[in-house]
Amino acid sequence: FVHEVEMLARLSHENIIRLIGFVEDLKQGKAWIALSWESNGNVREFLASGKWEIPERVSLIQDMFEGLRYLHTHEPPICHGDLKSLNILVSSSCRAIITDFGSARLVSITIVATTNQLTLTGPVWSLRWAAPELITEEQQPGLASDIWSAGWVCWEMMTDRVPFDDLKRDCAIMLKVVQGTVP
């Protein structure tokens, strides 16, 4: 919780959720993060709410990549780690806003090729959008796995289908992803 608040407090971009503050109830040992309200819900809900044409969909995709570029060029770079349509909100002005920066904690690892640090926003990722190397545990989430997930979000935005929507069992999804099979 504290790491997520600290990270969000450092971020400022029109395609990244804005931290308003946080509330803590010391007696009950509970805390809440207050984020900006985005009236159109997440991308999946938004696209299901009407007949959105390709230009509107492409605009949302561009916004998502602008937010991702901001994260990936931040110093140190920030890996979202769980990019999916449910973690991209749509503002009242129909702009995409990346949200959900870590259900667990921030983790720093060293990038092998440089001395830079890479900040992960959480160790949990969503199977349908996960890169093959995450499923096979060859790598931890990184900038490349964010791009892989963003590709699936693009596919979802253009087709109105969740990746591997015909598969219900995790093991079947994992097999398809690792084999490089696309829906």
> 4 or 58: whose pLDDT is higher?
58
Lowest mean pLDDT among 51-55, 57-61, 87-91, 132-136: 132-136
Q: Beta partners for 151? A: none
Q: What is the pLDDT of residues 73-109, one digit of tens each?
A: 988 888 888 899 999 999 999 999 999 876 323 334 4
Beta bridge partners of 72: none
Model's pTM, two decimal places? Answer: 0.82
DSSP SS3 for 25: strand
CA dist 19 and 100 (Å) reads: 11
- Residue 10 — pLDDT band, cuts 50, 70, 90? confident
Domain of residue 101, residue span: 2-179
Q: What is the pLDDT of residues 23-41, one digit of tens each?
A: 888 888 888 888 888 989 9
* pLDDT surpasses 80 at 66: yes
Q: What is the mean pLDDT of the chain?
A: 83
Contacts of 63 (CB under 8 A, 6+ apart): 15, 95, 96, 97
| Of 108, 117, 114, residue with least CA distance to 75 | 117
Structural tokens at position 123: 């160790």
Report DSSP state, residue 122: -
Catalytic residue numbers read: 82
* pLDDT score, position 102: 67
Evaluate the CA torsion angle 44, 37, 141, 65 in order and state its sign.
positive
Mean pLDDT of 42-59: 93
Count of domains forming the chain: 1
Which tens digits make up the pLDDT trace of 103-160?
A: 323 334 443 333 334 343 433 458 888 888 888 877 777 888 899 999 999 999 999 9
* CATH code of 67's domain: 1.10.510.10
